[in-house]
Amino acid sequence: MKLMFKLLFIAALGLATSVGPYAAGNKATSGVAPTFKHIGKLAFGPDGVLFAADGQEVSITALQLGSQAAGKAQGTKDVPAIDQKIAALLGIDAKNLLITDMVVNPKSRNTFIAVMRGVGADAKPVLIRVDGNGTLDVVSLDQVKYSRIGVPNPPPAETPLLLSNGRKIPVPNYPDKVDPKGMMGVQTITHMAFIDGKLYVSGLSSEEFASKMRVFPYPFATADEGTSVEIYHGSHGQMETFSPVFTFVPYQIDGEKEKSIIASYLCTPLVKFPVSALKPGSKIQGTTIAEFGNRNRPIDMIVYKKDGQDFILMSNNQRGVMKVPTTPFGKAQPITKHVPDTAGVPFETIASMKGVQQLDLLDSSKAMLLVQGTSGLNLEAVALP
């Protein structure tokens, strides 16, 4: 038999090109005493709500911590070798403890640390609270109310496909058996931040070299489509669409009408884009205002004020902790050409902050750090530089 086929048309499937799964039918669930398969990124929202990402179910849970939001003492006392102490409390060897994130409750100033107890298939997610006495407590979720939403969300059952003759036909999205997690494949959530009533989430796919940001209005109802943020990556000298976002903060740049998101990507470009541009289904182009160096992954970013001036403090896996004054952000020239290594708004590497694995703002004058010491991880507050 003569094998023949004719390629009739190649149709743009606009939905799937750069836009994440549509949230049709994906409703939030709620209840009391949530359970997790995995606990990863954390972010505090309004009224003591703690958002916690489950990296295995790929969901986000909003925890109304209630009485669990604070220990006996306000603040956080330094805890040397905290990894070994958490491991001891949980009854395991410290080498079998994974710390996945650390955030400070902006009200109680207690520090919350997400850990996995164990490194095997039976590893258990645990949330630890450290208070002003340095007391370590396992946060009990037994009485905690929660709501949860899946990420990524299942795509709609069908996508209208535009044929060359103008006709549309419904084409089912991915085979049920093969693609339980939707178009993006299994995702890793890289960062979350709550901004003006919405949770912003960046993610990374295990199959496609793609980066997505998603927006979830809170209280959770249904999820949004993802938004791609296109940046010009100066050190790469090319337009970068897919580079993964690893950390971001909301910030009102002086002289600009709208609040911005300041984001940092793999290989450390610093990019700004207006929060309002992140609309369902949109694809926006951010403005690269700095390049902080290749072969580097940003970890955490905080905004603080010192001596009347705003700064961003950013930790990195290869290039230390950087202090970036925000005053030049408004008038910064976009980087649109190849740069040799670093360029754009000025920054200073803080020599005294080495081995920083987690970073958050403790209060108006101190940062809370999780620092790799000579014999373990130390939880320590340091003066903002």
DSSP string, 230-261: EEEETTTTEEESSPPEEEEEEE--TT-SS-EE
Does the protein bind another protein through residue 259 (CB under 8 A)? no
Nearer to another protein, 109 or 181 (CB): 181
Chain centroid to CA 139: 22
Does the protein bind another protein through residue 77 (CB under 8 A)? yes
Rounded least distance, CB 56 to another protein, Å: 7
**Interface pick for another protein out of 30, 174, 327, 334 (rule CB under 8 A):** 174
Reduced to 3 states (helix: H, G, I; strand: E, B; else coil), residue 96 is helix
Region of 60-68, 183-191, 215-223, 344-352 interacting with another protein (CB under 8 A) = 183-191
Does the protein bind another protein through residue 165 (CB under 8 A)? no
Does the protein bind another protein through residue 18 (CB under 8 A)? yes
Rounded least distance, CB 213 to another protein, Å: 15
Does the protein bind another protein through residue 317 (CB under 8 A)? yes
Rounded least distance, CB 25 to another protein, Å: 17
Does the protein bind another protein through residue 16 (CB under 8 A)? yes
Query: Binding to another protein (CB under 8 A): which residues in 271-310?
Result: 283, 285, 294-297
Q: Residue for token digits 């590497």?
A: 349
**Interface pick for another protein out of 30, 74, 188, 327 (rule CB under 8 A):** 188
Nearer to another protein, 90 or 301 (CB): 90
Rounded distance between C-alpha atoms, residue 63 and residue 46, angstroms: 11
Give the strands of the sheet with 145-150, arranged side by side: 29-32, 145-150, 59-64, 49-54, 42-44
Measured CA angle at 38 (ends 139, 113), to 5 deg:
40
Rounded least distance, CB 125 to another protein, Å: 11
**Interface pick for another protein out of 151, 204, 223, 290 (rule CB under 8 A):** 204
Nearer to another protein, 16 or 303 (CB): 16
**Interface pick for another protein out of 93, 196, 254, 256 (rule CB under 8 A):** 93
Nearer to another protein, 137 or 310 (CB): 137
Contacts of 153 (CB under 8 A, 6+ apart): 20, 21, 22, 23, 24, 26, 182, 223
Rounded distance between C-alpha atoms, residue 109 and residue 151, angstroms: 29
Residues paired with 248 in a beta bridge: 263
Burial class (CB in 10 A: 0-12, 13-18, 19+), 57: middle
**Interface pick for another protein out of 50, 62, 87, 262 (rule CB under 8 A):** 87
Rounded least distance, CB 335 to another protein, Å: 13
**Interface pick for another protein out of 132, 185, 320, 385 (rule CB under 8 A):** 185
Closest CA to 379 of 141, 84, 182, 181: 84
Contacts of 47 (CB under 8 A, 6+ apart): 64
Region of 211-219, 272-280, 304-312, 371-379 interacting with another protein (CB under 8 A) = 371-379
Burial class (CB in 10 A: 0-12, 13-18, 19+), 175: exposed
Query: Binding to another protein (CB under 8 A): which residues in 23-52?
Result: none
Query: Binding to another protein (CB under 8 A): which residues in 320-349?
Result: 338, 340-341
